Structure 1
Amino acid sequence: MTDYQPQPTQPVQPTQPAQPQAPQYPNAQQQSDALQYTQQYAPQYTAQADAPQYNAPQYPNGTPYPPAPQYPTQAQAPMPAAGQPYGMTSLGGWIGTVILSAIPLVGFILLICWAAGMGGAEHQDRRNWALAQIIVQVVAIVLVIIISAASGFSLMEMFDQSQY
């Protein structure tokens, strides 16, 4: 029976040297050893003289580009009161909105006003609701016209055939 003796392995050389982390040393001897190690091996981690240097972009004639313009910041919309979240209409506001929009001619005019944003910037939910209501009403009117026309033509055909 022979004793197993492992073969020494060749150290793998990294393609790029890793930057050492700054560890915490509990005693002065270890800190001194680390300082000596840093002084010995730190030069290989510095930039080489033949490394490319960054040059500011330039025009073809060699003059540098002007700096980017600094624009003022955009004005922010005013924040709502702390008791009510932004864009929320209260329950009473919704009850009034539904009642007013149910009035035949006045309601449609109010829907157009609210959809145009006349309810104020803080009532975006009412604006979106008014837009949806207008779209639904226009689609309903178009469908009624189409169904009425189709029914009218079929009724006319039925009465025309019964006269003969």
Structure 2
Amino acid sequence: MSEKKAAKTYKKVSVMGWIGTLILSAIPVLNLILWLIWMFSAKRPSRRTFAGACLILTLLGAALIALGITLYGREILEWARQIDPQLFTKLFVEP
């Protein structure tokens, strides 16, 4: 069996397909669901790879934000209080 027959050929994603993919990827929460679906069941390898890369970057970004809040949370709150000293009295009003 020749290598040409062994290699599967996949239909490429069109420009409009990528535009639709990017638009759907910009919608919060829906993007995570679609990335998981595409990563595990997309027929086109380019879409599977795209979904995997997006998930990895999103998880990395979330981890960096969590680390930043953990390390600099107090400084962020103090900065927010300097901008609006009554910020927390507006948000946490006791009955």
Q: TM-score, length-normalised on structure 1? A: 0.40
Structure 2: give runs of 5+ residues left out of the alignment. Answer: 79-95
Q: 1:114·1:130 contact (CA, 8 Å) conserved in 2?
A: yes
Shift in CA distance, 113/147, structure 1 to aligned 2, threshold 3 Å: same
Shift of 1:154: 4.2
Look up the SS of the partner of 1:115 in the other structure. helix
Distance 2:8 2:76 in 1: 60
Partner of 2:46 in structure 1?
Answer: 125
Aligned mate of 1:108, from 29, 32, 35: 32
CA-to-aligned-CA distance 1:72-117 (integer Å, 9 cap, x gap): xxxx78955xxxxx2521111100101111110111100011011x
Shift in CA distance, 155/124, structure 1 to aligned 2, threshold 3 Å: closer
The amino acid that maps onto 2:29 is: L
Q: Tell which structure's C-alpha radius of gyration is larger.
A: 1
**Is 2:13 the partner of 1:89?**
yes
Structure 1: give runs of 5+ residues left out of the alignment. Answer: 1-75, 81-85, 158-164
Shift of 1:144: 0.4
Give every structure 1 segment of 4 or more consecutive aligned residues whose post-TM-superposition deviation is greater than 3 Å. Answer: 76-80, 153-157
Q: TM-score, length-normalised on structure 2? A: 0.67
Partner of 2:59 in structure 1?
Answer: 138
**RMSD of Structure 2 on Structure 1 (CA):** 2.7
Shift in CA distance, 148/113, structure 1 to aligned 2, threshold 3 Å: same
Distance 1:101 1:135 in 2: 14
Shift in CA distance, 125/87, structure 1 to aligned 2, threshold 3 Å: farther
More helix by share: 2
